[in-house]
Structure 1
Amino acid sequence: MKATIERATLLKSLGHVQSVVERRNTIPILSNVLIEATSEGTLRLMATDLDLQIVEQVAAAVDQPGAITVSAHTLFDIARKLPEGSQVQLAAADGKMQVVAGRARFNLQTLPKDDFPMIAEGELPTKFELAAEILKQLIDKTRFAISTEETRYYLNGIFFHVQDDVLKAAATDGHRLARVTIPRPDGAEGMPDIIVPRKCVGELRKLLDEVDGSVDISLSSTKIRFGLGTAILTSKLIDGTFPDYNRVIPTANDKLLRIDPKSFMEGVDRVATIASEKTRAVKMALDRDKITLSVTSPENGTAAEEVPGDYASSGFEIGFNARYLLDILGQIDGDMVEVHLADAAAPTLIRENDKAPALYVLMPMRV
C-alpha cells in the first residue's frame, strides 16, 4: 500500500476514528485503525470497539492500493505533530508502515487487515432521514439525563420510539427525565423501540457538527447506522427494555411557577457554591411571587437568595439537587420557564410551555 494525503485531511479523519478506539485493549487489533487505499483514489479509515464502528472515506493520491492496520492513537499523535500544510506519505510493506512528511519519518508496527473485526449489520429495514440540526437537538436536550450506572444498563442510552405521528427521544437516570418530541419522519412508521448507547450518542454528536444537510438513518431492533457525509457510524443497540417513563410524568401538578430561567439558574448556581459535594441540595421556598433559594451546609455555612417569579398558589418548601436542576435549566432556550409543582415529595414537571417539544421531570430531595 502506498498513498499520499494532506496532513489536515488525515488529522481530521483520524480525529473522528481514533476516539472510538478504547485506550486500554486486551485484544491488540482493537487498538488499531484499518487504513485501506483504493484504486479510485480514496483512503478508507475504520475503527471499532466491537460495539461501535466508524468508517470514513477521504480523497488521497494512491500509488498502490492495499490495506493495513496500525495503532490509531500513535498515528493520530504523529499527524497532530507534523508540520501544517505538509503532505503525508503512508507506505506499508513487510509488516511495517512508513509515515513520511517533510524531514520526519516513522516506522510503525502493523497487524494484518484480515484480523480486523467488522460489525455485521445484517438487514436494516427501517430507513429515514433527519436534518442534522434536529438530531443535534434530540441529543443535546436529553443526553445529560443518561444514567451512568452500569447495573441499570438499559438506562445507559437514549430511548427512541414512535408513537402515533411522533418520534420521541427520552433519557432518565431515575432522578430526572428528559423527553423531546418531533414529528415522525417519513419511513419511521413501524420502527422498533430502540436504545442507542451513550458512547454512540457521544461520537455521533461530535460528527454532527460537521454535517450541514441531513443524516441517513437505517436501523433494525439490534443495530443502527448513521450516514454522515464522508463518515458512516454503525452501533449495536442496548439489548434491554426501557421502563415506561410516561408513568412518572406528572399530569396533576396544580401549583405553577413561571420564572426567567437565566435568573433562576444564576441564583441556584450562586447559593449552590457552598453546598456539600455529596448532596448538592438546594431548598426552594415558594411564596406569592417570591422564591427564596437557600443552602445549609454543616461544613461551609448558609446561603440564601431571592429570585423574582410569578407564583400564585399556596406557599411551601421543596428541595432539589442543584446540579440536576442546573442541567435542565441549561436546556431552556426561551426567556420563561414553567415549573409545575404538587408537593415536597412529588416529581416536578419543567418545560418552556405546553407547546414546547421538550419536557423534563425532576425528583425532589429531602432538605
Structure 2
Amino acid sequence: MKFIINRENLLMPLQQIVGVIEKRQTMPVLANVLMVVSDDFLTLTGTDLEIQIVAKVVITDSSSGSITVPARKLLDLCRLLPSGADILLEKQNDKVKLLSNRSKFSLSCLPAEHYPEFAETAMEKQFTINAGKFKKALEKTIFCMANQDVRYYLNGLLLNISNTRMKLVASDGHRLSIFEDMLDEQTGYESRIILPRKGVLELYRLLDNLETELTVMFSNNNIKITIGNLIFSAKLVDAKYPDFGKVFQQSFYKPISLPKQELKEALTRVAVLSNEKFKGVTLDIAPDSMKISTHNPEHDEAEEELSINYQGELLSIAFNAQYLLDAISNLDSDTAILTIASNASSCFIDEPSQCEYKFIVMPMRL
C-alpha cells in the first residue's frame, strides 16, 4: 500500500473521524484508523463499535492495500506539517513510513484484518433533509439530553418521523426540549428512534457545511447519515421513549411576557449567590412585576425585580437557574414567554410568534 496525498485533504477527514475514537480502548486496534486504498481512493474508518465514521478521499500515485494506523499520532503529525505539504504514506511490513519534504516518520501499525466489522441491519426507512435545518433542530434540543442517567433512554435524543413532520425531543427528567419542522417530501411512514448521546454530539460537530443535503437511513437498530463524502453510522438506543404528551394536557396560568436579555442578565446575577449544588432561584410573580431571589448556606442573599407584562394570580415557584438560562439562551426572539402550569408542575418557555421549538423546565422545592 502506497499513496501521495495533500496535507489538507488528509487532515480534515482525520479530524472528523478522531472524535469517535476513545482515548482508552478495550481493543488496541480501536485506537487506530483503518486505511484502505483502491482505485485512487483512500477510505478512512474510525469506530468505537457504537458509532462509526467513514470518509473517502481522492489520492494520487497509489497502490492498493490496507492497514490500521494510530489515529491521534497520525492526526498530530499531519497537523504539525506545513500547510499545503504533500505526504507520501507507504506500508512496510507492520509499519507505515510517512515522508513529507525533509520530515520522515515511522508508525507501528496493526493489520487491517484485526479491525472489527461494524454490525448493521438492513435500513428500510429513508428521508433527506438540509444540513442547516437538521443542525438547528439539534442545537435547540441537545443541551437537554441526560448524561449517564440510569434511565438510559434519556441519554440520547428522540427522532420522530410522521410522514412529512419531523420532531426531535430531549430530556434529562428535569427539563425537556421539543423541536418540530416539516420535511420537504412525504416519507409515508411513522417511526420513533432514539439516537445515543455521543452519536448526537458527534453528528452535530460534523454538520459544518449548512448547504449540504443529508440522506438519513435507519432501521430499528441502526442509523446511517450520508454527509457529502462522509458516512456517519450509529447503533440506536433499544428502548421506548416516555410519553411526554401529557405535559400539554393540563391547565395553565396566564402567559408572562418579558424581555429575554433583561431576564437572562437578572438570572445570571442572582445565580451567583445561589446554592452551588442546586442553583435554585425563586420567582415571585405578581401583576406587572417579577421578583427573582435566592440564598445559600453561607447566608448570602440576592434579589432582582423585573417589570413584566402579566395580569393574573400571584405565584411563587422555584427553578434551577441554569436550566432556565439554557432555555432562554436558546430563544431566537427578543421576548421570552413563560407559561406556568396551574398545578405548578412545569413551566413552558417559548416565543411570542409560532416557532418550531418549546422548552419545558420542571420546578424544584427549596
Work out the CA distance in 1 between the residues paired with 2:163 and 2:103: 60
Q: Does 1:82 align with 2:91?
A: no
Work out the CA distance in 1 between the residues paired with 2:163 and 2:99: 57
Cα separation, partners in 2 of 1:250 and 1:173, compared to 1, 3 Å: farther
The aligned counterpart of 2:288 is: 289
Task: Trace 1:92-131 onto structure 2 (pairs within 5 A).
Answer: 92-131=91-130
Secondary structure of the corresponding residue to residue 109 of structure 2:
strand
Q: Does 1:8 align with 2:12?
A: no
The aligned counterpart of 1:28 is: 28
Q: Equivalent pairs: percent with the same residue?
A: 33
CA contact (8 A) 1:98 1:106 kept: yes
Deviation for aligned residue 1:18: 0.8
The aligned counterpart of 2:17 is: 17
CA contact (8 A) 2:121 2:221 kept: no
Deviation for aligned residue 1:62: 3.4
Task: Trace 1:341-352 onto structure 2 (pairs within 5 A).
Answer: 341-343=340-342, 345-352=344-351
Deviation for aligned residue 1:121: 2.5
The aligned counterpart of 2:38 is: 38
Work out the CA distance in 2 between the residues paired with 1:249 and 1:191: 21
Work out the CA distance in 2 between the residues paired with 1:363 and 1:276: 18
- 1:239-285 Cα offsets, whole Å, 9 max, x none, are 01100011223541122101111211111011111222201011111
Cα separation, partners in 2 of 1:359 and 1:184, compared to 1, 3 Å: same
TM (norm. structure 1) is 0.96
Cα separation, partners in 2 of 1:259 and 1:178, compared to 1, 3 Å: same
Matched to 1:16, the amino acid is Q
Work out the CA distance in 2 between the residues paired with 1:212 and 1:183: 17
Secondary structure of the corresponding residue to residue 272 of structure 2:
helix
Work out the CA distance in 1 between the residues paired with 2:340 and 2:176: 15
Q: Does 1:358 align with 2:342?
A: no
Deviation for aligned residue 1:92: 0.7
CA contact (8 A) 2:168 2:179 kept: yes
Deviation for aligned residue 1:353: 3.5
Deviation for aligned residue 1:300: 5.9
Work out the CA distance in 2 between the residues paired with 1:163 and 1:207: 25
Deviation for aligned residue 1:163: 4.0
Secondary structure of the corresponding residue to residue 118 of structure 1:
coil
The aligned counterpart of 1:340 is: 339
CA contact (8 A) 1:316 1:343 kept: no
Cα separation, partners in 2 of 1:167 and 1:74, compared to 1, 3 Å: same
Matched to 2:130, the amino acid is A
Deviation for aligned residue 1:192: 2.6
Secondary structure of the corresponding residue to residue 15 of structure 1:
helix
Work out the CA distance in 2 between the residues paired with 1:337 and 1:218: 36
Deviation for aligned residue 1:120: 3.0
Work out the CA distance in 2 between the residues paired with 1:354 and 1:243: 28
Task: Trace 1:193-272 onto structure 2 (pairs within 5 A).
Answer: 193-249=192-248, 251-272=250-271
The aligned counterpart of 2:315 is: 316
Work out the CA distance in 1 between the residues paired with 2:162 and 2:243: 13
Consecutive unaligned residues of structure 1, counting only runs of 5 or more, are: none
- 1:8-45 Cα offsets, whole Å, 9 max, x none, are 22111110011110000010111110011222x22111
Matched to 1:25, the amino acid is Q
Cα separation, partners in 2 of 1:300 and 1:227, compared to 1, 3 Å: farther
Q: CA RMSD in A?
A: 1.6
Work out the CA distance in 2 between the residues paired with 1:309 and 1:97: 66
Work out the CA distance in 2 between the residues paired with 1:4 and 1:217: 32
Work out the CA distance in 2 between the residues paired with 1:184 and 1:10: 34
Deviates more, 1:104-113 or 1:307-316: 307-316
Deviation for aligned residue 1:345: 3.5
The aligned counterpart of 2:151 is: 152
Secondary structure of the corresponding residue to residue 333 of structure 2:
coil
